[in-house]
Structure formats: structure tokens, C-alpha cells
Amino acid sequence: MSKYPLLGMTLAELQSVVRGLRMPGFAAKQIASWLYDKKVATIDEMTNLSLKHREALKADYEVGGEAPVDAMHSVDGTIKYLYRVGENHFVEAVYIPDDDRATLCVSSQVGCKMNCKFCMTGKQGFTANLTSNQILNQINSLPECDKLTNIVMMGMGEPLDNLDEVLKALEILTASYGYAWSPKRITLSTVGLRKGLQRFIEESDCHLAISLHSPLPSQRSDLMPAERAFSIVEIVDLLKNYDFSKQRRLSFEYIVFRGVNDSLIYAKELVKLLRGLDCRMNLIRFHAIPDVDLNGADMETMTAFRDYLTSHGLFSTIRSSRGEDIFAACGMLSTAKQEENNKN
């Protein structure tokens, strides 16, 4: 019989576990410290719990960490890790070292329902939501875990479509009983879902990035079907109810496609759309994926686009492209091959 993983449990859930096993109340914080501070691999290593209590815990529970099953190394130092989740599913996480920063791009779902035109994860279709255990395991079992400075929820899946488990993972990452990270080191990226966006803003202090890609609703709905359910105009109206002028950062992601959304007409529309919001723009080079008739703009076009936005009050940067040679760059994550192999 499989055991329940302790990794991914909040303090309240650990308190419930120790109550059920008639352990002293303070044991919950001790277990949390072993899991999230000391990062032990087994219950036997929790040596300030009595032997009797460790044995009781082991009867139904395990730490629940699982090392990545594969790794691909890019020439630029980026590493893409493959993690098994559940019996037969897989997700990818991407480790991006950069001078004094080290960022991990974390997945929240196996596949994705959003079906954005430019994204390989969407082409894979949706298979399963990850649990908080499976989300945190990508961080906890990362060989470079102790070097991490930043986490971005920008891997496979739409985080707001699995919000309960994502919020639980974010609580553990930022709580004093957990990893005790500042929420300013964590960014969640979303297409913008009506049911989850407001809740995320109000229940988390982590940075927020909105996938925009076109200021024109008709074109955005062609690139991103989620636009039809919750338009970018409605998203911006909602965001204007919140204060992003202090430490919490609001940014927009904009992949620049050649001949599609790269002219200054679009830059002008972006300035108009986002006027009054305290935000920044990340311009992203498109990374070609199979069977998609889109191409990336050249650097000269992207630079002119960036300069127009910044000179009109919308601070913009061009994100450096990392891990393209191992299909680890933005929009390129997919475990479709592993999923298909498991069916055969």
C-alpha cells in the first residue's frame, strides 16, 4: 500500500497528522523543520522524534521526495530536469543559473488545457494537476536546490487552473515553518483566469506575470483561446483595483512574433491598454516549435519595440533566451513523448 507524502503538507496538516498519531503537538513543527529546513529524505533521520513516534509515522507516511529521472544540459548552463509524478506521468523543471542568480522554472500540471498557439505544453493536452508534494518536489529534490535564488511558476501548466495546490505550495515556500522564502523571490505566470486571478492576488504576496502577447482581443483570442473566457481588457480592469507600486511586482509577458504583433502600432496599443497600471513589460523571443506557423521577430525590431514602450512610460526589457538547444526555453516544455511511451 502506498504511503502518504509528508513533503507538501502545511503546518496545519502536519498538526492533524500528529494529533491522529497521539504525538505531542510540538512534533508538527519539528517535522516541518526536518522537511523544509533540513530537507531530510527519510523519517528515520528525524532524530528529535522518539523511536516510537517515528515508527508510528512510518506506518502510513513517508517524506515523499523523488529525485529527477533525467537531466539535459544546455551549452549555456541551463539544465532541464525530468520528474516522475504519480505512476506514469512526467513534468519538466528548468534550472537557469545566471551570475549571482539561479532561477528554477516550476511546473504545476502535466500538460495544459489552455492550448496557446505558440506553446508545446498546450499542444500536449491536459493530463493531470500536480499536488503540492509534486510541485515542491521539483524544488526540494533539485541537485542545485541550495543555490536557488528565485522561483518562477512558469513551467508546464496554468497555475491558476490548479490554484488550491499551487497556493498550498506557495504557503510552504514562504511560511516561517517552511522554506521561509520572501514572496519577492517568487513569480507566478498566468494567462489570466477569471476564477483564480483575484484569489491569487488576495491570498499571496508573490509577484504576478500576465501572458499578454497581443493588446487586440481578436488577435489574442487566436493566439490564446483563454481570451474568450476572460479578456485582457477585463484582466487589466481587475488589476487596476490593486496596488502594485510597492514591493510586489506586476509584469506582462509579450512574445514578439514577426509580422504578427511586432509593429509599433501594437506598441502604441499596449501603452494605451496598460496606462494607469504600475507594471513592466518583458519582451520574449519566440522559439520555433513543430507544426506552428509563427516566427520570431529579429533583434532590431524587438529593440525598437522595447525603446518605444520604455520612452512612453512602460518600462520594458528583452528577456535573454536560455536553453533553446535542449527545448527548455519559453514555450518549449513538453513530456508528450514520455506520456505516449507509457501508453504503449
The grid coordinates of residue 291 equal 507544426
Residue 162 in contact with residue 112, Cβ under 8 Å? no
- Cα(164)–Cα(91) distance, integer angstroms: 19
Report phi then psi at 155, rounded to 5: -80, -145
Angle between the 163-174 and 194-203 helix axes, to the nearest 10 degrees?
A: 20
- Residue positions annotated with a catalytic role: 92, 330
- The tens place of each residue's pLDDT in the chain, 344 residues long, gives 689 999 999 999 999 999 999 999 999 999 999 999 999 999 999 999 999 999 999 999 999 999 999 999 999 999 999 999 988 899 999 999 999 999 999 999 999 999 999 988 888 899 999 999 999 999 999 999 999 999 999 999 999 999 999 999 999 999 999 999 999 999 999 999 988 999 999 999 999 999 999 999 999 999 999 999 999 999 999 999 999 988 899 999 999 999 999 999 999 999 999 999 999 999 999 888 888 899 999 999 999 999 999 999 999 999 887 777 776 656 666 665 665 666 55
- Cα(344)–Cα(342) distance, integer angstroms: 5
The number of residues making up the chain comes to 344
The maximal CA–CA distance of the chain, rounded, in angstroms, is: 70
Q: Which helix (H) or strand (E) holds 317?
A: strand 316-318
- Residues 6 or more apart whose Cβ sits within 8 Å of residue 240: 276, 277
- Residues 6 or more apart whose Cβ sits within 8 Å of residue 277: 236, 239, 240, 244, 250
Type of residue numbered 2: S
User: Domains of the chain by range and CATH?
Assistant: 4-62 (1.10.150.530), 70-343 (3.20.20.70)
